[in-house]
Amino acid sequence: MSILRVRPSAPVADGKVLDITPETAGWDHVGFAVIRRAAGQVAEGVDAGRETCLVLVSGTADITAGDETFADVGGRKTPFEDKAPGAVYVPAGVPWRVVANDAVELAVCTAPGAEGYVPRQIPADEMSREVRGRDTNTRFVRNILPQDRPAHSLLVVEVVTPSGHWSSYPPHKHDTATDGEETALEETYYHRLDPPQGFAFQRVYTDDRSLDETVCVEDGDVVMVPEGYHPVGAPHGYTLYYLNVMAGPERRWIFRNDPAHEWIVKS
Number of Cβ atoms within 10 Å of the Cβ of 126: 15
Number of Cβ atoms within 10 Å of the Cβ of 83: 15
Query: Which residues neighbour 71 within 8 Å (Cβ) at sequence distance 6 or greater?
Result: 62
Rounded Cα gap, residues 12 and 17, in angstroms = 7
Q: How many structural domains compose the chain?
A: 1
Rounded Cα gap, residues 16 and 66, in angstroms = 22
**Tens digit of each residue's pLDDT, the chain (267 residues):** 689 999 999 888 899 999 999 999 999 999 999 999 999 999 999 999 999 999 999 999 999 999 999 999 999 999 999 999 999 999 999 999 999 999 999 999 999 999 999 999 999 999 999 999 999 999 999 999 999 999 999 999 999 999 999 999 999 999 999 999 999 999 999 999 999 999 999 999 999 999 999 999 999 999 999 999 999 999 999 999 999 999 999 999 999 999 999 999 987
pLDDT of residue 207: 97
Phi, psi (deg, nearest 5) at residue 24: -70, -30
Among the listed residues 178, 185, 227, 184, the one whose alpha carbon sits nearest the alpha carbon of residue 207: 227
23 DSSP 8-state letter: H
Q: Is residue 262 helix, strand or coil?
A: coil
pLDDT of residue 45: 96
CB 44 within 8 A of CB 98: yes
pLDDT of residue 12: 86
**Strands 104-112 and 139-145, how do they pair?**
unpaired
Query: Which residues neighbour 170 within 8 Å (Cβ) at sequence distance 6 or greater?
Result: 231, 257, 258, 261, 262, 264, 265
pTM score, whole prediction = 0.97
pLDDT of residue 2: 83
pLDDT of residue 176: 97
267 DSSP 8-state letter: -
Q: Is residue 245 helix, strand or coil?
A: strand
Question: Cis peptide leading into 119, omega within 30 of 0?
Answer: no
Q: Is residue 68 helix, strand or coil?
A: strand
Query: Which residues neighbour 9 within 8 Å (Cβ) at sequence distance 6 or greater?
Result: 17, 18
Rounded Cα gap, residues 184 and 260, in angstroms = 21
Write the burial class of residue 210 (CB in 10 Å: 0-12 exposed, 13-18 middle, 19+ buried): exposed
Bridge partners, 194 (sequence order):
239
pLDDT of residue 11: 85
52: domain CATH number is 2.60.120.10
Q: Is residue 265 helix, strand or coil?
A: helix
CB 53 within 8 A of CB 145: yes
Q: Which domain holds residue 128?
A: 5-266
pLDDT of residue 266: 85
- Which strand (E) or helix (H) includes residue 138? none
